[in-house]
Amino acid sequence: MFSSPRVWFITGASTGFGYNLTRHALDKGDIVVATLRNPSTSDLPTKYPHERLLLLKLDVTDTPAISSAFTTAREKFGRIDVVFNNAGHAILCELENTPEDKARALFDTNFWGAVNVSKEAIKAFRANSPPGGRLLQNSSSSASTNNPGTAFYGASKAGTANGTHISLRNLSHSGTYLVFPIFVDSFIPPALEAMSESLAQELDPNWNIKITLIESGPFNTAALGSNMLILPPSEPYIPSTDPSQPLIGANQTRLWISSGELYKIAGDPVKGARVFYELGSREVKEEGGEKVKEPYERVVLHPYSVLAAERRIGSVRRAVEAFEGEWKAWLE
């Protein structure tokens, strides 16, 4: 189905996964439309010929600009085979004290930006002749679990359950608990994942479009640095000056990052980009088939993501067992 060479459309190509996937695809002889907010800062044009690299300015919170970028890409190269939906950033702060404008801006990028890129990707794949393509959604291990202080980032990737769970972990030390009409650890379909799964089921199999959701886990990218806004704690979350008192809640996460402990488990984005390339290069049709059979797949891409996924599986199992053992009788 794919053209040769393949044409990639990559968002967030200034650093990390986006930058390394751009380079890897170009090194493999493919064509790349690389989008980023500040193209003038990129060294990519000095490394690759303009015949195979189109660098476009794009902020994914600008919906008309997304549509324009896809139009420009198709006009130049005639088709788009693979879209890597990658742009995003994070906030580290207690949920209670996170400024609402900062949280809304995060959702505009991480969720609505991804939604609008996905919509344009589907249009582009359907317009191909023959139709088809693969949409790679770069999610996060936050789709399975999360850390205190990252409630809004987790919610943008992982929906209501994780955001509430992190709030509980921040509040529990003060004796405050929430009574929720669900199991807080149970699985609510993550925001980005739920959108992607529903979208995949809406597609005509004859369009030959496959959506791959990647829970990438911690990698040594700008998501752990310049793309993470770390806000200081404020009352009532300021830690005690007593060294005998352990750090709790989001202050643990702040220490985890500032001490460098997080970077000890962070993966290599160059190696991660190679996996993304392999996923994007695979045929979307079943072997010997005429159309896509399974339009949606999930890929776990880090040992931490594996642990998070196992925790999610366990919490779903406990919720099912609780229903069978107690709540089911209430409904009969």
Q: Which domains does the chain have, with CATH numbers?
A: 7-330 (3.40.50.720)
**Please, which residues bridge with residue 161 across strands?**
none
The SS3 call for residue 297 is: strand
pLDDT at 140: 66
Please give the structure tokens belonging to residue 199: 């979208």
**144-183 tens-digit pLDDT:** 566 788 888 877 765 433 443 444 444 444 443 333 332 3
pLDDT in tens, 223-272: 667 778 999 999 999 999 898 888 889 998 888 888 888 778 788 889 99
**pLDDT for position 95:** 93
Are 82 and 9 in contact by the 8 Å Cβ rule? The answer is yes
User: Which segment of 2-6, 131-135, 272-276, 296-300 scores lowest on mean pLDDT?
Assistant: 2-6
**The predicted structure's pLDDT at residue 141:** 57
The mean pLDDT of 321-331, rounded to a whole number, is 92
The predicted structure's pLDDT at residue 48: 98
Q: What's the DSSP call for residue 101?
A: H
> Alpha-carbon distance 173 to 182, whole Å?
22
CA distances from 30 to 49, 83, 85, 325, 326 (A): 12, 13, 18, 55, 56
CA distance 84 to 79: 15
The mean pLDDT value for 57-64 works out to: 98
The pTM of the full predicted model, rounded to 2 decimals, is: 0.84
Q: What is the CA radius of gyration of the chain?
A: 21
Write the pLDDT tens digit of every residue in 185-229. 333 346 888 899 999 999 999 999 999 999 887 777 766 677 789
Per-residue pLDDT tens over the stretch 77-133: 999 999 999 988 889 999 999 999 999 999 999 999 999 999 999 999 999 999 999
Can you tell me the mean pLDDT for 297-310?
Answer: 81
Alpha carbon distance, N-terminus to C-terminus of the chain: 52
What's the confidence (pLDDT) of residue 90?
Answer: 86
Residue 217: which of 160, 269, 161, 258 has the closest Cα? 269
pLDDT tens-digit map of 277-298: 999 998 876 655 667 777 888 8
- Residue 185: per-residue pLDDT: 33
Quote the CA–CA distance of 116 and 84 in Å, as a whole number: 13
Cα–Cα distance list, 136 to 143, 222, 227, 257 (Å): 15, 19, 21, 28
Q: Provide the pLDDT for residue 316.
A: 84
Contacts of 174 by beta carbon, 8 Å cutoff, 6+ apart: 236
C-alpha to C-alpha distances, 130 to 120, 182, 207, nearest whole angstrom: 17, 46, 8
> What's the angle, vertex CA 274, arms to CA 268 and CA 276, rounded to 5?
105
Please tell me whether residue 257 adopts helix, strand or coil conformation: helix
